[in-house]
């Protein structure tokens, strides 16, 4: 708006002097500046460069067309421009710039320092024009310089950030190499420990086999055989860990399949009168969950082979390990043999072990004695579960008994 108010006397003055080119040039310059300023706030830096170039071209054309006097005392133009540039408070100093043009112009005219016929009105109009141009030019150049400073600061920030990141990457790489070296060393130690555990298990089994051969009583032989079976069940876990380079997780299907086949080959009848059917789903269990499952399976299958089918009776043993929709794992071992005998002493030790293994799983156990013998163990991977046994001869009451195992 301020430039529009200055535009009117400027065009009037140029029209009086017959300078139509100046009128057209001023009009086009005003329209172009308005167009650039009214554009959306994008491409600000290119617009700033364009306006600076436009002001420079305008001054050169005025000087070329009508001489130094009509060009608005161009040599005074740099005084307010440099003042604004080095003291960038152009909003406050615009009045000072105008006064400097006004009084310096009158001073040069009065003392005839400036040659040519220049009226006070011409000094007023030209001074006002170029005072405003000084403000715009100062603003644009300052914005360009500020943008350049921002770019330099941003570039310096990026360089410093990249340098810090490189230092961090180097430190992390060094730490990673040390961790990898430490991990490789621990893996080597772990494999060595597993190998020694495996050898020790074989050594223990060999010693137990020697003791079994030397045992005189039948009870001692059976006790040693039970110990051998349990150690072999744990040895299968160690064998799996050693062969699969696994530390904590075991594939239940591979592990339980191997265990079932091992028990069948060790205790199954050659005539095939006892069949074994098993359905084991694939799942991942930690070692502290897989070992109790294997020991429960070992105890129950061996018990079924030994006691469920006397006098060469034909029968079937079923093993199932599934995961329910609610997230629980269910291990079920059943046979269609003669069922559990009424004497408690014969199976008290084995069932006590199964109860202890179930406690390790933090699960619950169900025993059914109709049409054979069935044990169902249900557990989850949660922290706290409940343990109960029902329909067994080891509890005097027929009601379910629950006890919370918070001590795990």
CATH code for the domain of 282: 3.30.565.10
Note the pLDDT of residue 338.
86
Note the pLDDT of residue 76.
46
Note the pLDDT of residue 151.
83
What predicted TM-score, i.e. pTM, was given to this entire model?
0.49
Q: Are strands 315-323 and 329-335 parallel, antiparallel or unpaired?
A: antiparallel
Q: Is residue 169 part of a domain?
A: no
Q: Is residue 213 part of a domain?
A: no
Q: Is residue 295 part of a domain?
A: yes
Q: Is residue 167 part of a domain?
A: no
Are 366 and 379 in contact by the 8 Å Cβ rule? The answer is no
Domain limit, last residue, from 162, 179, 196: 162
Note the pLDDT of residue 383.
47
Instruction: Compute the distance between CA of residue 304 and CA of residue 307 in angstroms, rounded to an integer.
Output: 5
Q: Which residues contact 394 (CB under 8 A, 6 or more apart)?
A: 344, 348, 351
Q: Which domain holds residue 67?
A: 2-162
349 SS3 class = helix
20 in the Ramachandran plot: left (φ > 0), alpha (ψ -120 to 50) or beta? alpha
The reply to whether 249 and 396 lie within a common domain is yes
The reply to whether 39 and 158 lie within a common domain is yes
Number of domains in the chain: 2
Q: Is residue 181 part of a domain?
A: no
- Counting as low any pLDDT under 70, the low residues of the chain are 1-10, 13-14, 17, 19, 21-22, 25-26, 29-30, 32-145, 244-247, 340-349, 382-408
Note the pLDDT of residue 277.
93
Q: Is residue 136 part of a domain?
A: yes
Domain limit, last residue, from 116, 144, 162: 162
Instruction: Compute the distance between CA of residue 286 and CA of residue 284 in angstroms, rounded to an integer.
Output: 7
Q: Is residue 64 part of a domain?
A: yes
Note the pLDDT of residue 310.
86
Q: For residue 345, which phi and psi values (nearest 5 degrees)?
A: -65, -30
């Amino acid at each position: 708006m301020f430039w529009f108010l200055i535009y009117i006397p400027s065009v009037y003055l140029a029209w009086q002097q017959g300078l139509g080119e100046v009128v057209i040039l001023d009009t086009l310059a005003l329209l172009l500046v308005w167009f650039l300023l009214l554009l959306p706030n994008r491409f600000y830096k290119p617009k700033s460069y364009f306006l600076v170039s436009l002001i420079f071209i305008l001054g050169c054309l005025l000087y070329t067309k009508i001489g130094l006097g009509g060009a608005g005392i161009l040599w005074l133009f740099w005084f307010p421009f440099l003042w604004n540039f080095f003291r960038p408070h152009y909003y406050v100093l615009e009045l000072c710039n105008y006064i400097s043009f006004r009084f310096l112009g009158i001073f040069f005219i009065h003392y005839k320092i400036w040659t040519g016929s220049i009226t006070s009105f011409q000094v007023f109009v030209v001074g006002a024009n170029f005072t405003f141009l000084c403000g715009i030019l100062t603003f644009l150049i300052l914005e360009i310089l500020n943008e350049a400073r921002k770019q330099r600061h941003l570039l310096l920030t990026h360089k410093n950030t990249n340098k810090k990141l490189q230092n961090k990457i180097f430190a992390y790489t060094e730490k990673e190499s040390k961790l990898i070296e430490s991990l490789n060393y621990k893996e080597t130690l772990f494999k060595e420990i597993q190998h020694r555990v495996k050898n020790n298990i074989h050594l223990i089994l060999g010693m137990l086999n020697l003791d079994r051969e030397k045992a005189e009583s039948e009870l001692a032989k059976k006790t040693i055989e039970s110990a051998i079976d349990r150690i072999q069940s744990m040895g299968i876990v160690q064998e799996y860990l050693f062969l699969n380079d696994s530390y904590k997780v075991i594939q239940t299907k591979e592990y339980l399949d191997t265990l079932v086949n091992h028990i069948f080959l060790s205790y199954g009848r050659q005539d095939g009168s006892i069949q074994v059917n098993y359905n084991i789903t694939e799942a991942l269990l930690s070692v502290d969950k897989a070992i109790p499952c294997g020991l429960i399976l070992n105890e129950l299958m061996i018990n079924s082979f030994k006691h469920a089918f006397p006098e060469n009776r034909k029968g079937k043993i079923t093993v199932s390990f599934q995961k329910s929709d609610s997230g629980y794992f269910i291990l079920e071992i059943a046979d269609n043999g003669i069922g559990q005998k009424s004497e408690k002493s014969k199976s008290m030790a084995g069932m006590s072990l199964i109860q202890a293994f179930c406690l390790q799983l933090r699960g619950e156990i169900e025993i059914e004695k109709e049409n054979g013998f069935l044990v169902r163990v249900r557990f989850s991977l949660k922290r706290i579960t409940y343990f109960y046994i029902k329909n067994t001869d080891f509890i005097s009451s027929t009601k379910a008994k629950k006890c919370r195992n918070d001590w795990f």
